[in-house]
């Protein structure tokens, strides 16, 4: 009898608590895997009594394909800057006008009016960084500041290299490696790109997103990767170093937007504003280990982020970075074809 009562009480409590969460609202965020600070989400949940659900994706194309089909049920998404114009022109994003939100004053000057979202009509900065190489220097002692790691893999790394399957990152790297400029439509260069990629692939062991875990555990000894991910790998194993390829590398940013078919628009707007608070942005950086574009967030980040070689591009490499941008559709189509051929 006592037990039944206890169970009934527990059920009632459970119903009440879920009912409460429902009443206050939900927020469904569709974001890159391993990219959102759980601690920060908890803070948001507690502050606004909102239940946050995060679903992962592993590439811009996956996210775009899924949301474009409609009925995804997500409220927010974090596309890279080169995909943003597609999201906007395809009518997938809601114009929430973050430029007019209370915390917008905290956005760092260079991110206030970016080319990919003029006047910040749709997005707030989430994180920004570079695309380079990570190498376990216990396995390979040579120069890591080159795309040779991926495209002309040294013997020590053959069969141990991973490539993160983000189409534009991989093709951009191959374009720069082949002596082209970003978004080139030069067929001679692109043919070289295709041949380079196809010839390089047999030396790769996998094309996976989860490098933080698998580099740390020794399943991969090198990979193409993003700087924040490289930082987290170094924290697991000090021998893992991030390389800035001398052939050139891409500077990117990811930005938080609200979907047009979002069901929890008000909560999504609250979250956009929340993310522009230096303390919250700093907390998030402490997790994903990228810069975040919010002025004054540094003081809320872990001390080891200051001067970290992954975050602050060393002076000798700084000039090699090229901004990520959306390529014209006909070039993009060629990229997609090369990518499909590589993936098969």
Partner 1 sequence: MTGVAGTIEAEKSRDIRKRWLLSLPALLIILIAATGPLLIVLVYSFLTPGPYGDVQWLPSPDGWISVVMEKDIFDGTFSLADAHVSIFIRSVVLSLATTVLTLLVGFPTAYFIATRPEKTRELWLFLITIPFWTNLLIRTFAILEIIRNEGLINGLMLKFGLISKPVQMLFTDGAILTGMAYVYLPLMVLPLYASMEKLDFRLVEAGYDLYATPFKVLRKIIIPLVKPGVVAGSILVFIPALGAYVTPSILGGGKNLMLGNLIELQFGQGRNWPLGSALSITLMLIVMVALLVYVRNAGSQGSRHG
Binding of residue 61 to partner 1 (CB under 8 A): yes
Q: Does 223 bind partner 1 (CB under 8 A)?
A: no
Site membership for partner 1, residue 203 (CB under 8 A): no
Find the part of the chain contacting partner 1 (CB under 8 A) among 72-80, 115-123, 201-209, 309-317.
201-209
Nearest distance from C-beta of residue 141 to partner 1, angstroms:
16
Residue of 41, 50, 52, 64 interacting with partner 1 (CB under 8 A): 64
Scan for tokens 């260069």, then name that residue.
189
Q: Which residue lies nearer to partner 1 by CB, 87 or 122?
A: 87
Choosing from 74, 116, 177, 204, the residue that interacts with partner 1 (CB under 8 A) is 204
CA–CA distance, 316 with 311 (Å, rounded to integer): 14
Residue ranges of E strands in the chain: 26-32, 51-57, 76-77, 124-136, 161-162, 204-206, 222-226, 240-243, 249-258, 321-323
| Residue selected from 21, 206, 320, 322 as contacting partner 1 according to rule CB under 8 A | 206
Residues 275-334 binding partner 1 (CB under 8 A) are 329, 333-334
DSSP-derived pairing of the beta strands 124-136 and 240-243: antiparallel
Site string for partner 1, 161-180 (x = CB under 8 A): -x--x-x-------------
* Residues 181-200 within binding reach of partner 1 (CB under 8 A): 187, 190-191, 194
What SS3 state is found at 243?
strand
Three-state SS for 106?
A: helix
67-86 residues in contact with partner 1 (CB under 8 A) are 68-69, 86
For residue 340, state whether it binds partner 1 (rule: CB under 8 A): yes
Interface residue with partner 1 among 21, 189, 207, 331 (CB under 8 A) is 207
Q: Which is nearer to partner 1, 219 or 298 (CB)?
A: 219
Tokens 């040779």, residue located: 148
Q: How many CB atoms sit inside 10 A of residue 182's CB?
A: 18
Q: Is 237 helix (H, G, I), strand (E, B) or coil?
A: coil
Question: Is residue 130 packed enough to be buried (19+ CB in 10 Å), middle (13-18) or exposed (0-12)?
Answer: buried
33 lies in the binding site for partner 1 (CB under 8 A): no
Closest distance of CB 230 from partner 1, Å:
19
CB of 22 or CB of 337, closer to partner 1? 337
The burial class, CB within 10 Å (0-12 / 13-18 / 19+), for 320 is: middle
Rounded CA-CA distance 187/164 in Å is 25
Which residue in 43, 51, 121, 201 binds partner 1 (CB under 8 A)? 201
Q: At its nearest, how many Å lie between partner 1 and the CB of residue 31?
A: 17
Size of the site for partner 1 (CB under 8 A): 39
Locate tokens 């080319």: which residue? 115
Under the binding rule (CB under 8 A), the answer on residue 22 touching partner 1 is no
| Beta bridge partner(s), residue 135 | 222, 241
Q: Does 260 bind partner 1 (CB under 8 A)?
A: no
Only segment of 41-49, 93-101, 215-223, 252-260 that touches partner 1 (CB under 8 A): 215-223
Residue 337 to residues 84, 86, 168, 173, Cα–Cα distance (Å): 21, 18, 12, 16
How far is it, in rounded angstroms, from Cα 321 to Cα 319? Answer: 6
Q: Is 218 helix (H, G, I), strand (E, B) or coil?
A: coil
Residue 280 phi/psi, 5-degree rounding, is -70, -45
Of 12, 13, 14, 65, the one binding partner 1 (CB under 8 A) is 65
Comparing CB distances to partner 1, the nearer of 109 and 344 is 344
Side-chain half-sphere exposure of 200, counting CA atoms within 13 A: 31
Binding stretches for partner 1 (CB under 8 A): 59, 61-62, 64-66, 68-69, 86, 90, 159-160, 162, 165, 167, 187, 190-191, 194, 201, 204-208, 217-219, 329, 333-334, 336-341, 343-344
């Amino acid at each position: 009898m006592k037990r039944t009562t206890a169970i009934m009480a527990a059920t009632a409590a459970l119903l009440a608590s879920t009912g409460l969460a429902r009443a206050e609202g939900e927020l469904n965020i569709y974001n890159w895997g391993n990219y959102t600070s759980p601690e920060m989400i908890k803070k948001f949940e507690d502050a606004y009594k909102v239940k946050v659900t995060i679903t992962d994706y592993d590439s811009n194309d996956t996210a775009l394909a899924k949301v474009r089909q409609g009925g995804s049920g997500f409220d927010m998404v974090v596309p890279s800057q080169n995909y943003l114009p597609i999201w906007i022109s395809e009518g997938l994003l809601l114009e929430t006008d973050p430029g007019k939100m209370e915390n917008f004053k905290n956005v760092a000057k260079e991110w206030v009016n970016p080319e990919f979202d003029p006047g910040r009509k749709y997005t707030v900065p989430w994180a920004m960084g570079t695309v380079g190489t990570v190498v376990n220097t216990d396995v390979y002692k040579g120069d890591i500041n080159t795309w040779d790691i991926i495209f002309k893999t040294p013997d020590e790394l053959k069969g141990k290299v991973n490539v993160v399957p983000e189409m534009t990152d991989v093709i951009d790297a191959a374009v720069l490696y082949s002596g082209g400029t970003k978004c080139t439509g030069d067929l001679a260069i692109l043919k070289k790109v295709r041949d380079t990629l196809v010839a390089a692939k047999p030396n790769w062991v996998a094309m996976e997103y989860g490098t933080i875990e698998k580099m740390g555990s020794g399943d991969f000894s090198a990979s193409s990767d993003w700087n924040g991910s490289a930082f987290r790998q170094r924290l697991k194993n000090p021998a893992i170093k991030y390389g800035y390829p001398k052939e050139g590398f891409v500077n990117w940013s990811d930005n938080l937007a609200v979907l047009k078919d979002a069901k929890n628009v008000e909560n999504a707007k609250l979250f956009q504003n929340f993310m522009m608070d230096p303390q919250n942005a700093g907390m998030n950086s402490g997790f994903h280990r990228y810069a975040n574009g919010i002025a004054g967030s540094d003081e809320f980040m872990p001390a080891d982020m200051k001067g970290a070689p992954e975050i602050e591009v060393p002076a000798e490499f700084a000039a090699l970075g090229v901004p990520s941008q959306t390529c014209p559709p006909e070039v993009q189509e060629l990229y997609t074809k090369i990518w499909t051929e590589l993936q098969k």
